[in-house]
Structure 1
């Protein structure tokens, strides 16, 4: 086990290092300790912040990865599986960009280079990184596979100057495609088949993660009074459309009112903020506020995107990159605003 394996635990070499160490998973989780704590922490960070948190010592960091995959498998919720894979990929992306661009700390000599990354994902022959300092080309097949989950018109093939079956990309875009390759790798095989003794030992941790996921997907009301300056861009855009007189589609009106209910607004406040019909707002409030909105949760960012209610990429801000739910954006923004006040 070395620091490169701990830094990139999804590598084939990292998996081989764990196999060679002959670690008994059941014994590892029974004993608890740093690897189990860190494994659960990886999953909880994926839920709460969209990354996998701060690294630990080499052995604990490397062994925490299979533990995290087991926890995700035991929760067995597609939302968590997706969020976890994205968090591992996002963290890896930050690290390998630092490594390749030479901005990783000098105290971390065991970095990875671009050719190693390409070889890891069988992309060495598919990517020509020598077209120019800031440009590359990618075979159309791998490009389409890796870009399929990316948002934005710029990733569509029609937006690219396809030449001889190769797609030109900027260096930063290649890093994004490699991030998607990491996400694919992390998702592969999930959920795992977990032996019963391991599942029983991890029951408390799985219950804790499940509660965290519930809080994440159904955020609590975060303020007695609204703070419009803390609204996420998607909500601001919906409010602007509603107040301009546009008749919002049902899904858009639902998303807007559900957000405001979750943020603690009463029907009168919601109607005043949005300009929507007060009677319609009151009806929606009654449906959404009952039983804490358990049957009709405020849509997550993924659902907003599916509805077409998320704003274009260029209109999102840095906070959007750190959260996966409009209410979590709002809670974070309110907290930051309150800290900045004298």
Structure 2
């Protein structure tokens, strides 16, 4: 098991490394310990915070084995939208990592760790033939491959009708190719989920499954607020928006803000205007949440405090436990005043 496998546990080489080590998943979950703890963290962070990035350092073995454990756990929690949110969070972390590796590869690869090359990733996903570099940081993607990967992506720029197309190939930039590869990762992670989990494994993970369900209960949501009114936003949301505008928002802050804004039902253009950011990355993050029905509310006030994302609470904050609760209360006040 190599660090590269732990960084990209969805690769065929990572799966082969686990098989070569003759790892018995049932034995791993019975023994518990770091692989299971990290697996729980993966799922909880994916569904609550929108990321699977580790909160502390884990061994290569724990990080790699936590991936199959997490796939089992996300299958067991039986929470609406869990598979899609989990797959998207895994793909988002992979995107951060492989863009760094690929960009290092085009400059001077770091000697401190083995990185993933673009060629290796294309080969792993059977895309080597369908993707061809054309120079100047641009690529040609076979039209069938392009349609498969771009189908879930939102925005006019991904429509085939507005793309340069010649001889069965679609021209894309390097950054656009990275976005398509992020979709390939998301699809691979989601493939086969939810799993049919054997009873012995489900029983061994019963405690962890119950813990996850308890952690997720406060953030499940029944419907959208359906109204966009920044004047009624809670203090934390206003501050997080300011941090996004200043480029100072971390992963949990962005997720908290975007899930809140998705709950208002606002179109991306309105959100982009409010945040002063119309970037492709923000569009992807927001529209994936909005189109998924924002199955989960923003993190609870307790979670936001733990993440350092609770700012400038006022008197109303003392009475509520969820940012949407604050917003709905203020919207009712505004409506009454009108």
Tell whether the structures are fold-level matches, with TM greater than 0.5: yes
Query: Does residue 1:80 correspond to 2:62, yes or no?
Result: no
User: 1:217, CA displacement in angstroms?
Assistant: 2.6
CA contact (8 A) 1:262 1:327 kept: no
Structure 1 residue corresponding to 2:99, chosen from 97, 100, 104 = 97
Structure 2's unaligned 5+ residue stretches are: 236-257, 314-338
User: Which structure 1 residue ranges, 4+ long, deviate > 3 Å from structure 2?
Assistant: 103-108, 257-264, 299-305, 307-327, 329-337
Alpha-carbon RMSD across the aligned residues, in angstroms, is 3.7
Query: Does residue 1:328 correspond to 2:332, yes or no?
Result: no
User: 1:198, CA displacement in angstroms?
Assistant: 0.9
User: 1:215, CA displacement in angstroms?
Assistant: 2.4
CA contact (8 A) 2:260 2:297 kept: no
User: 1:256, CA displacement in angstroms?
Assistant: 2.1
- The answer for the alignment partner of 2:15 in structure 1 is 15
CA contact (8 A) 1:47 1:212 kept: no
- The answer for the alignment partner of 2:114 in structure 1 is 110
Local SS of the residue matching 1:112: coil
Query: Does residue 1:149 correspond to 2:152, yes or no?
Result: yes
- TM-score normalised to structure 1 length: 0.69
Cα separation, 1, equivalents of 2:37 and 2:164: 48
User: 1:258, CA displacement in angstroms?
Assistant: 12
Cα separation, 2, equivalents of 1:50 and 1:10: 18
Count, aligned residues: 271
Cα separation, 2, equivalents of 1:157 and 1:198: 45
- The answer for the alignment partner of 1:35 in structure 2 is 35
CA contact (8 A) 2:75 2:194 kept: yes
User: 1:73, CA displacement in angstroms?
Assistant: 1.0
- TM-score normalised to structure 2 length: 0.70
Cα separation, 1, equivalents of 2:112 and 2:206: 36
Aligned CA distance change for structure 1 residues 301 and 172 (closer, same or farther; 3 Å): farther
CA contact (8 A) 1:319 1:329 kept: no
Cα separation, 2, equivalents of 1:163 and 1:105: 33
Superposed counterparts of 1:1-342, under 5 Å: 1-54=1-54, 56-102=58-104, 106=110, 108-129=112-133, 131-218=134-221, 255-256=226-227, 309-311=267-269, 314-315=272-273, 321=285, 324=289, 328=298, 335=309, 337-338=311-312
Structure possessing the higher radius of gyration over alpha carbons: 1
Local SS of the residue matching 1:207: helix
